[in-house]
Amino acid sequence: MLNNPGFEGITIIHKSEEDKKSEIPNIRQQNKIIAYLKERKPEILEEKIFRVRDEIRNEVIEKIAKGEIMEDDFRELLLCIKAPVNPDEPAGLFAKILGNKQMEKMVAYLVLNNANDYENLNARDAENFLNKYPEPFSFEGDIQYFLDEIKQQNTARKYEEYQNSKEELMKGIYGKRYEYYKQAKFLKQEALEKYPDLVEKI
């Protein structure tokens, strides 16, 4: 497996039809990710049009396969991208989750350690959530424990509803960070498929 804790465990499952259509590679965003991982220059992410040579792409993909590029490198990249909600404005998160019990329960599970306390969420909890989970990697890794419980205790339909709510929550609070996160997963999959022998040795 990749020496990339948390990253290799990410899967794409139980999408709505709209999400399924959006789950396609975005070469422009992937090129920016590759260029950033190569040069470590945040301004690259602001370019409207960006291309990378095939040899540069292959070099970065190989490093992902070898575990030389790890989850922390992708986290660093995502934090260079402005999110639509920030810890100084927790009301923005509340606006996105209020009225959606599933989203509220996920946030309560992560910050109050009890999903059933969702009715007690307040602005301080939203602030704590945003500080604890500023990017999708950490959020999706931790919330999967809760989703596994939902899967064991409920119907497949209910589990899919929670999966869809999770995706909507991530899109709402992470914005462009979420888009680039999805493209990072595509690059990881490309590394797995292109260099299986390198991956297996790690």
Q: What is the pLDDT of residues 62-116, one digit of tens each?
A: 999 999 999 999 999 999 999 888 777 777 777 878 789 999 999 999 999 999 9
Residues 182 and 170 in one domain: no
Domain count, the chain: 2
Dist CA 5 CA 171 (whole Å)? 23
Domain assignment present for residue 21? The answer is: yes
> Which of these, 24, 32, 43, 51, lies nearest to 185 by C-alpha position?
24
**Residues spanned by the domain of 69:** 17-82+177-200
Domain assignment present for residue 8? The answer is: no
Give exposure, 76-107, as e/b (b: 16+ Cβ within 10 Å).
Answer: ebbebbebbbebeebebbbebbeeeebbbbbb
Residues 28 and 78 in one domain: yes
Are the C-beta atoms of 93 and 129 separated by less than 8 Å?
yes
Residues 170 and 185 in one domain: no
pTM above 0.75, yes or no: yes
Q: What is the pLDDT of residues 142-186, one digit of tens each?
A: 999 999 999 999 999 999 999 999 999 999 999 999 999 999 999
DSSP 5: T
Domain assignment present for residue 43? The answer is: yes
Domain assignment present for residue 4? The answer is: no
